[in-house]
Amino acid sequence: MEATILRADLDAFFASVEQRDDPRLRSRAVIVGAGVVMAASYEARACGVRSAMGGTRARRLCPQAVVVAPRWQAYLAASRAVFAIIDDTAPLVERVSIDEAFLDVRGLHAIAGSPRQIVNALRRAVREQVGPPISIGVATTKVLAKVASAMAKPDGLLSQQSQSRTEHPQELNASEPQVAHAELIGAQVMRELVAHGARHLGAQQVRIVAEVAPQGVAVDHDPVGHVVARDAVAVVEPVGARPVPAV
């Protein structure tokens, strides 16, 4: 089955909009929200700051961060501009939130190219016309596309591999589930495997886990239009180089 489901997710969206609109904030740690962190730039995340964290703790972790008040109209305008591009990219789009969507690009080869070409054009259009970086995962299901897009962050693209690639085992250290170039395991499944003593997960083990999906690892096959959030098993690979952000 060809990977044609895309999950597009704007990176650190609110903070990215602030950095776009104020050149002084580019390449600096930015926290949106004073009392509670609503968004943190990747520079702030490198210090341990996370969304929903208390503002006091966030400023203690990252004292050099610039704290800004949220500007809802700016975020909504940026979101509308991005979704206008997304809506022009595929006939079937599922809006999940202000900064996230699933797209189904099946049947677009003749008019728009391969899924990879479509994704590259989408990311380029968002970067040039709107500004904020966007990460996209490409897979055969929404769950796998969501996992791939999370692994692609920031400002990247990750595509599901052909299942035949499991003939060439790779290892993923169970303590580092964020590492790319390897098999992906849902977070809960990873924790369970670690609890049972698994330290390195090769392709053979991933295939075995996939075979027992009905017992707890849900590999979703819902079409775009039905939101799901379940653990998944996938084999993914990075596609193309991540561009240097134009700041």
Beta carbons within 8 Å of 34's beta carbon, 6+ residues apart? 55, 67, 69
Residue after which a domain boundary falls, among 35, 56, 71: 71
Which strands make up the sheet holding 183-185, listed edge to edge? 92-97, 100-104, 5-10, 134-139, 157-160, 233-238, 183-185
Q: Residue 244: inside a domain, yes or no?
A: no
pLDDT-based confidence at residue 245 (cuts at 50, 70, 90): very low
Q: Which of 94, 100, 183, 237 is catalytic?
A: 100
For the stretch 28-40, pLDDT in tens is 999 999 999 999 9
- The CATH number of residue 59's host domain is 3.40.1170.60
Percent of the chain with pLDDT over 90: 64
**Distance of alpha carbon 2 from alpha carbon 141, whole angstroms:** 10
Do 26 and 99 share a structural domain? no
**Distance of alpha carbon 91 from alpha carbon 128, whole angstroms:** 22
Supply the pLDDT for residue 201: 42
Do 170 and 124 share a structural domain? yes
Do 166 and 221 share a structural domain? yes
Supply the pLDDT for residue 194: 52
What does pTM read for this prediction? 0.69
100 in catalytic set: yes
Q: Residue 243: inside a domain, yes or no?
A: no
Do 195 and 98 share a structural domain? yes
**Distance of alpha carbon 69 from alpha carbon 138, whole angstroms:** 34
Do 188 and 100 share a structural domain? yes
Residue after which a domain boundary falls, among 25, 56, 71: 71
Do 100 and 62 share a structural domain? no
Beta carbons within 8 Å of 118's beta carbon, 6+ residues apart? 6, 89, 90, 105, 108, 112
CB 213 within 8 A of CB 189: no
CB 215 within 8 A of CB 165: no
Closest listed residue to residue 98, CA positions, set 226, 34, 38, 9: 9
Do 146 and 32 share a structural domain? no
pLDDT-based confidence at residue 1 (cuts at 50, 70, 90): confident
Do 191 and 92 share a structural domain? yes
Do 103 and 45 share a structural domain? no
Do 83 and 32 share a structural domain? no
Q: Residue 201: inside a domain, yes or no?
A: yes
Q: Residue 245: inside a domain, yes or no?
A: no
Supply the pLDDT for residue 187: 53
- The overall average pLDDT reported for the chain is 76
pLDDT-based confidence at residue 240 (cuts at 50, 70, 90): very low
Number of domains in the chain: 2
Domain span at 130:
5-12+73-238
pLDDT-based confidence at residue 120 (cuts at 50, 70, 90): very high
